[in-house]
Structure 1
Amino acid sequence: MSGERPFDYLFDPDARNEYLRRNKAVVCALSASYISTFAGYPLDSIKSRLQTTRTPITISKLALLVYREEGLIGFYRGIWIPLMTISFVRAASFTIYTRTKEYFRDHNMLMRNNILHVASTGGISGALSGSLISLFSAPFELVKVRRQLEYSIAASKGVRIVKAPNTLNAVRDIFRTNGLLGLYTGFRLHFVRDTLGTSLYFLEYDGLRYLMGRDQLGEQGATPPWLPLPESLIPFMCGSLAGVSSWALIYPLDVVKTKVQQRALAGEPKRGVLETLRRLIRGPDPNSPRPLLKGLTRLYRGLGVSALRSVTTHGLLWTIFDLTAGYIDQLPPSKRTS
């Protein structure tokens, strides 16, 4: 419209409503992501430490140790990375996911109202979203891991940290040690993890929402008689289950990725993925291998706190996403005429 200023939506309620409707997926993703990320980050930080510690330790003891050595800030070390990048990563991820599903709908592909088609469109959309977003998110996650593991990386180098470097210094250290490509350390594992994990996540979420009464077009119907949940709890339940189960399936891959990145950041000799996995399960001495069951337990160290983080993060994510979407859907229609 001629004469309209770029930021009219900040002051004009009618323009603001139109802006929210046009950018619904982005607005919902942003509002949900910031809150859920902040709520779940301390658990993510503990998860990374549990994955890389050489000696078994309980979650409570590790949390106490972090608090004693680093204070409350230790649980939020590196949070600015996901908070700064979440605006792009989550918004882009949900946009790709929703646009891909719209493409299937517009071309009448996989549009039968059954769980196979619903879950398949979610899984394919999630795989495309995860693979594309990993190209941009990999450097930021590497820096996040670097910040979370500052003390363990320093200990492996025989250095005692008096004051942990800030995020900018962490980026400089990675760049100085490994060059620009150093920011993509462990990228192949990151790519596979995000593609597979995001595909499983959206496949399960859309499948669960279908079982709970939402059809292929996104309209929520009555919940099934075998689980008559209030409608407001459905997003939290489906998001939590999808987050926990998909994360549990790819968790070993995330452990290997974190270990590979930790060794690279500490300047230790490189190991292949299979060798890293073997040593995690069977131990460093091939002549005296660790019992298989004990090794698998080592591989899943931190899964409990990671599951709790997934329940918190993904339950809140979809709850706030749906609440925001419902708010936007109920906005009054525009009074402007074309």
Structure 2
Amino acid sequence: MDGRTGQNFLSNSEGYHDFLRRNKPVVCALSASYISTFAGYPLDSIKSRLQTTKTHVSIPRLAAMVYREEGVVGFYRGLWIPLMTISFVRAASFTIYSRTKESFARNDILYKNTIIDVALTGGISGAMSGALISFTSAPFELVKVRRQLEYSIAASKGVTIQKPPGTLDAVRDIFRVNGMKGLYTGFPLHFVRDTAGTALYFLEYDGMRHILGRNRAGEQGETPAWLPIHASLVPFVCGSLSGVTSWAIIYPLDVVKTKVQQRALAGERYRGPIETLYRMVRGPDPANPKPLLAGIVRLYRGLGVSAVRSITTHGLLWTFFDMTANYIDNLPLSSSPPPSLSSAI
């Protein structure tokens, strides 16, 4: 390699490294999201089916039914939607979240090194992220639900599916029936769920990372004596716990959202969120309501598989996010380094 070739190679490498530093939240979120989405999608598919079945079915039995009727592809039906779109939405979400935190730091807002300031900063940044991103993610998630529930929607219409339609066919069908607004079916519920859920998620994650030794500069210190785990496991533990607990809190809202969307996609009479919630808890006959406890249990149907999905998805997400972030932070500095960016992501 002559001097000019070596110089060009070095210049290209420095440019590549600078690009990674400038776009750190996006690069970390995209790479981590692809892996975590693929790993957790079969569980998400089963969760959607459990939420909309009218009779109680165990997870193993439902999984066996899906495999028998649709094969392995049934577990991954509609996968490319979250893989190619929600991953980018998640990248935008992490960017908004990290930039909001950077703004708080620059203006010295809630920037004391206390659990309250750290958690509130994460929660407010998460709420901002969830609210803005919901406008983009709502149509994608509706189409995903449509693909996952194709067989149950067809059954409610009295139609037998010979060959399931593709994703573009599903989009065209929604648009043909209800126009552009059809892609935002159930949007108010989606907006509230994403805003509240993302706020809780980041509030818990940042709070737990602080408790387990991360400082405001983003550097991981020693873990406390009551949880002496290796530093590499901290992102998985915090991601899993924040994903499970925040999801459990907003889970009933997600169940109602999915049910409202399923009825709308099947062309059935519209029922509002309150009516849907009441009927799911107390049954369709007001004169003969079901026991309250049984109704609440039904409202949490699928939570078990959803919890496993959250542990898998969010644990892997933050593990690979931190691995990618550490890789970028340890890249050699260029001869003209770009403006410093906050690493407290």
Task: Name the TM-score class by shorter chain.
Answer: over 0.9
Task: Indicate the residue corresponding to 2:332 in structure 1.
Answer: 332
Task: Indicate the residue corresponding to 1:4 in structure 2.
Answer: none
CA contact (8 A) 1:142 1:261 kept: yes
Q: Residues 10 and 80 (structure 1 numbering): CA distance in 2 closer, same or farther, change over 3 Å?
A: farther
Root-mean-square deviation (CA, aligned residues, Å) is: 1.5
Residue by residue over 1:104-158, the C-alpha shift from the partner in whole angstroms, topping out at 9 and shown as x without a partner, is 0000000111100000000000000000000000000000000000000000000
1:108 aligns to 2:117 (yes or no): no
- Please list every run of 5 or more consecutive structure 2 residues that lacks an aligned counterpart in the other structure: 1-7, 339-345
Deviation of the 1:41 alpha carbon: 0.3
Task: Indicate the residue corresponding to 1:38 in structure 2.
Answer: 38
Q: Distance in 1 between matches of 2:323 and 2:93?
A: 19
CA contact (8 A) 1:9 1:16 kept: no
Q: In structure 2, what residue type is equivalent to 1:55?
A: T
Q: Distance in 2 between matches of 1:9 and 1:253?
A: 53
Task: Indicate the residue corresponding to 1:287 in structure 2.
Answer: 287
Q: Distance in 1 between matches of 2:168 and 2:225?
A: 54
Q: Residues 27 and 58 (structure 1 numbering): CA distance in 2 closer, same or farther, change over 3 Å?
A: same
Task: Indicate the residue corresponding to 2:275 in structure 1.
Answer: 275
Deviation of the 1:86 alpha carbon: 2.6
Task: Indicate the residue corresponding to 1:243 in structure 2.
Answer: 243
CA contact (8 A) 1:146 1:262 kept: yes
Match of 1:260, SS state, is: helix
Task: Indicate the residue corresponding to 1:190 in structure 2.
Answer: 190
CA contact (8 A) 1:30 1:86 kept: no
Task: Indicate the residue corresponding to 1:131 in structure 2.
Answer: 131
1:203 aligns to 2:203 (yes or no): yes
Match of 2:41, SS state, is: helix
Match of 1:12, SS state, is: helix
TM-score by length of 1: 0.96
Task: Indicate the residue corresponding to 1:94 in structure 2.
Answer: 94
Task: Indicate the residue corresponding to 1:51 in structure 2.
Answer: 51
Q: Residues 28 and 302 (structure 1 numbering): CA distance in 2 closer, same or farther, change over 3 Å?
A: same
Q: Residues 9 and 298 (structure 1 numbering): CA distance in 2 closer, same or farther, change over 3 Å?
A: farther
Deviation of the 1:90 alpha carbon: 0.9
Q: In structure 2, what residue type is equivalent to 1:309?
A: R
Deviation of the 1:336 alpha carbon: 5.2
Deviation of the 1:178 alpha carbon: 1.0
| Structure-to-structure mapping, 1:1-338, within 5 angstroms | 12-335=12-335
Q: In structure 1, what residue type is equivalent to 2:247?
A: W
Task: Indicate the residue corresponding to 2:3 in structure 1.
Answer: none
CA contact (8 A) 1:101 1:125 kept: yes
Q: In structure 2, what residue type is equivalent to 1:178?
A: N
Report sequence identity in percent: 72
Q: In structure 1, what residue type is equivalent to 2:18?
A: E
Deviation of the 1:179 alpha carbon: 1.0
Q: In structure 2, what residue type is equivalent to 1:43?
A: L
- Please list every run of 5 or more consecutive structure 1 residues that lacks an aligned counterpart in the other structure: 1-7
Q: Distance in 2 between matches of 1:76 and 1:180?
A: 26
CA contact (8 A) 2:197 2:246 kept: yes
Q: In structure 2, what residue type is equivalent to 1:38?
A: F
Q: In structure 1, what residue type is equivalent to 2:207?
A: G
Q: In structure 2, what residue type is equivalent to 1:68?
A: R
CA contact (8 A) 1:34 1:86 kept: no
Task: Indicate the residue corresponding to 1:5 in structure 2.
Answer: none
Q: Residues 137 and 229 (structure 1 numbering): CA distance in 2 closer, same or farther, change over 3 Å?
A: same
Q: Residues 147 and 9 (structure 1 numbering): CA distance in 2 closer, same or farther, change over 3 Å?
A: farther
The alignment of Structure 1 onto Structure 2 pairs a total of residues equal to: 331
Q: Distance in 2 between matches of 1:272 and 1:25?
A: 38
Q: Distance in 2 between matches of 1:173 and 1:210?
A: 47
Residue by residue over 1:175-215, the C-alpha shift from the partner in whole angstroms, topping out at 9 and shown as x without a partner, is 11111100000000000000000000000000000000011
CA contact (8 A) 1:9 1:15 kept: no
Structure 1 segments (4+ residues) deviating >6 Å: 8-11
Q: Distance in 1 between matches of 2:239 and 2:305?
A: 17
Q: Residues 9 and 105 (structure 1 numbering): CA distance in 2 closer, same or farther, change over 3 Å?
A: farther
Match of 2:287, SS state, is: coil
Deviation of the 1:17 alpha carbon: 1.0
Deviation of the 1:335 alpha carbon: 3.4
Q: In structure 2, what residue type is equivalent to 1:206?
A: D
CA contact (8 A) 1:78 1:147 kept: yes
Residue by residue over 1:42-100, the C-alpha shift from the partner in whole angstroms, topping out at 9 and shown as x without a partner, is 00000000000001000000000000000000000011111111342011000000000
- Per mean C-alpha deviation after superposition, the further-off stretch among 10-19 and 89-98 is 10-19
